[in-house]
Amino acid sequence: MAETHATTHTAHEAHAHHELPFMRKYIFSTDHKVIGIQYGITALCFLLFGFLLMAAMRWQMAYPNDPIPVVGGLLQKALGEDMVASKTVEKVNPDGTKTEVKIPGIMTPDLYNAFGAMHGTIMVFLAIVPLAFGAFGNFVVPLQIGAPDMVFPRINMVSYQCYFGGGVVMLASFFIPGGAAKSGWTSYSPLASIADLSHRIDGQTFWLIGMVLLITSSLLGAVNFIATIIQLRAKGMSWMRLPFFVWAQFVTGFLLLLAFPPLEAAGVMQLMDNVFDTSFFLPSGLVIAGQTIDVSGGGSPLLWQHLFWFLGHPEVYVLILPAMGIVAEIIACNTRKPLWGYKALVHSVLAIGFLSFIVWAHHMYLTGMGTKISTFFQTTTMIISIPSVIILTALFLSLWGGSIRFNTPMLFALAFLPMFGIGGLTGLPLGFNASDILLHDTYYVIAHFHYVVAPGTIFGLMAGIYYWYPKATGRFMNEFWGRVHFVLSFVFMNLVFGPMFLQGLAGMLRRMSDGGATYSITNSPGVEGALSEFVIHLNRDISRAAWLLGLAQIPFIINFFWSLKHGKKIESDNPWQATTLEWQTPTPPPHGNFNKEPEVHRGPYDYSVPGAKTDFSPQNQPI
Partner 1 sequence: MEIPYTVTPRRDTGLYNAKVGIWLFLASEVMLFGALFSSYVLLRVGADKWPHGLLNIPIGTFNTAVLITSSVTVVMAWASLKLHQFNKFKIYMTATILCALAFVGIKTIEYKDKFTHYSVRLADGRTMDGHIKGSPLFWSLKKLKDKNVETIEFAPDAAHGAAAAAHGAEAAKPAAHAAGEHQFEIIKVSDLTYLSAYVPSHNTYFAIYFTLTGLHAAHVIGGALVMTYILLFGGKMWRTQPDRLTNRVEVAGLFWHFVDLVWIFLFPVLYLL
Burial of 261 (0-12, 13-18, 19+ CB in 10 A): middle
Pick one of 222, 390, 430, 488: the residue that binds partner 1 (CB under 8 A): 222
The answer to whether residue 303 forms part of the interface with partner 1 (CB under 8 A) is yes
Contact 530, 518 (CB under 8 A): no
From the CB of 220, what's the least distance to partner 1, in Å?
A: 9
Amino acid in the structure at residue 264: E
Buried b (16+ CB within 10 A) or exposed e, 599-608: ebbbbbbbbb
The answer to whether residue 296 forms part of the interface with partner 1 (CB under 8 A) is yes
From the CB of 164, what's the least distance to partner 1, in Å?
A: 21
Pick one of 231, 292, 371, 518: the residue that binds partner 1 (CB under 8 A): 231
Piece in contact with partner 1 (CB under 8 A), picked from 180-188, 301-309, 334-342, 532-540: 301-309
DSSP 616: B
Nearer to partner 1, 224 or 580 (CB): 224
Contact 46, 167 (CB under 8 A): yes
From the CB of 350, what's the least distance to partner 1, in Å?
A: 17
The radius of gyration of the chain from alpha carbons, rounded to an integer in Å, stands at 26
Show contacts with partner 1 in window 154-173 (CB under 8 A).
Answer: 155
DSSP 556: H
Alpha-helical regions (H) of 122-152? 129, 138-144
Pick one of 276, 368, 372, 400: the residue that binds partner 1 (CB under 8 A): 276
Q: State how far the Cα of 41 lies from the Cα of 444, in Å rounded to an integer.
A: 32
Pick one of 53, 132, 181, 259: the residue that binds partner 1 (CB under 8 A): 259
Nearer to partner 1, 302 or 382 (CB): 302
**568 to 587: interface string for partner 1, x by CB under 8 A:** --------------------
Pick one of 258, 502, 509, 521: the residue that binds partner 1 (CB under 8 A): 258
Piece in contact with partner 1 (CB under 8 A), picked from 180-188, 305-313, 318-326, 562-570: 305-313
The answer to whether residue 422 forms part of the interface with partner 1 (CB under 8 A) is no
From the CB of 436, what's the least distance to partner 1, in Å?
A: 23
The answer to whether residue 31 forms part of the interface with partner 1 (CB under 8 A) is no
Going from the C-alpha of 250 to that of each of 20, 146, 243, 247, the distances in angstroms are 31, 15, 11, 5
3-state secondary structure (DSSP) of residue 218: helix
Residues that bind partner 1 (rule: CB under 8 A) add up to a total of 47
Q: State how far the Cα of 202 lies from the Cα of 193, in Å rounded to an integer.
A: 10
Burial of 545 (0-12, 13-18, 19+ CB in 10 A): buried
From the CB of 341, what's the least distance to partner 1, in Å?
A: 26
The answer to whether residue 279 forms part of the interface with partner 1 (CB under 8 A) is yes
The answer to whether residue 232 forms part of the interface with partner 1 (CB under 8 A) is yes
Pick one of 266, 324, 536, 581: the residue that binds partner 1 (CB under 8 A): 266
The answer to whether residue 315 forms part of the interface with partner 1 (CB under 8 A) is no
From the CB of 582, what's the least distance to partner 1, in Å?
A: 15
From the CB of 342, what's the least distance to partner 1, in Å?
A: 21
Nearer to partner 1, 191 or 232 (CB): 232
The answer to whether residue 223 forms part of the interface with partner 1 (CB under 8 A) is yes
The answer to whether residue 153 forms part of the interface with partner 1 (CB under 8 A) is yes
Peptide bond just before 190 cis, omega within 30 deg: yes
Pick one of 236, 262, 498, 575: the residue that binds partner 1 (CB under 8 A): 262
Which segments of 257-347 are extended strands (E)?
287-288, 291-292
Q: How many CA atoms lie within 13 A of 99 on its CB side?
A: 6
3-state secondary structure (DSSP) of residue 228: helix
The answer to whether residue 80 forms part of the interface with partner 1 (CB under 8 A) is no
3-state secondary structure (DSSP) of residue 121: helix
End-to-end CA distance of the chain: 35
Pick one of 257, 389, 505, 570: the residue that binds partner 1 (CB under 8 A): 257
Pick one of 68, 75, 151, 462: the residue that binds partner 1 (CB under 8 A): 151
From the CB of 485, what's the least distance to partner 1, in Å?
A: 37
Which segments of 67-129 are extended strands (E)?
84-92, 98-107
The answer to whether residue 255 forms part of the interface with partner 1 (CB under 8 A) is no
The answer to whether residue 188 forms part of the interface with partner 1 (CB under 8 A) is no
The answer to whether residue 614 forms part of the interface with partner 1 (CB under 8 A) is no
Q: State how far the Cα of 293 lies from the Cα of 275, in Å rounded to an integer.
A: 15
Pick one of 66, 277, 479, 573: the residue that binds partner 1 (CB under 8 A): 277
Amino acid in the structure at residue 539: N
Give the Cα-Cα-Cα angle 453, 458, 460 (nearest 5 degrees): 110
3-state secondary structure (DSSP) of residue 499: helix
Nearer to partner 1, 312 or 498 (CB): 312
The answer to whether residue 264 forms part of the interface with partner 1 (CB under 8 A) is yes
Nearer to partner 1, 52 or 219 (CB): 219
Nearer to partner 1, 153 or 603 (CB): 153
Nearer to partner 1, 234 or 500 (CB): 234
Q: State how far the Cα of 16 lies from the Cα of 296, in Å rounded to an integer.
A: 66
Q: State how far the Cα of 113 lies from the Cα of 542, in Å rounded to an integer.
A: 19
From the CB of 143, what's the least distance to partner 1, in Å?
A: 12
User: What pairs with residue 85 in β-bridges?
Assistant: 106
Piece in contact with partner 1 (CB under 8 A), picked from 160-168, 260-268, 394-402, 417-425: 260-268
Nearer to partner 1, 142 or 555 (CB): 142
The answer to whether residue 312 forms part of the interface with partner 1 (CB under 8 A) is no
Q: State how far the Cα of 197 lies from the Cα of 274, in Å rounded to an integer.
A: 9
Name every residue whose Cβ is closer than 8 Å to that of residue 191 and which is 6 or more positions away in sequence. 183
Contact 202, 178 (CB under 8 A): yes
Burial of 429 (0-12, 13-18, 19+ CB in 10 A): middle
For partner 1, the binding residues (CB under 8 A) are 147-149, 151-153, 155, 219, 222-224, 226-227, 230-232, 257-262, 264-266, 268-269, 272, 276-280, 295-296, 298-300, 303, 306-307, 310, 592-594, 596-597
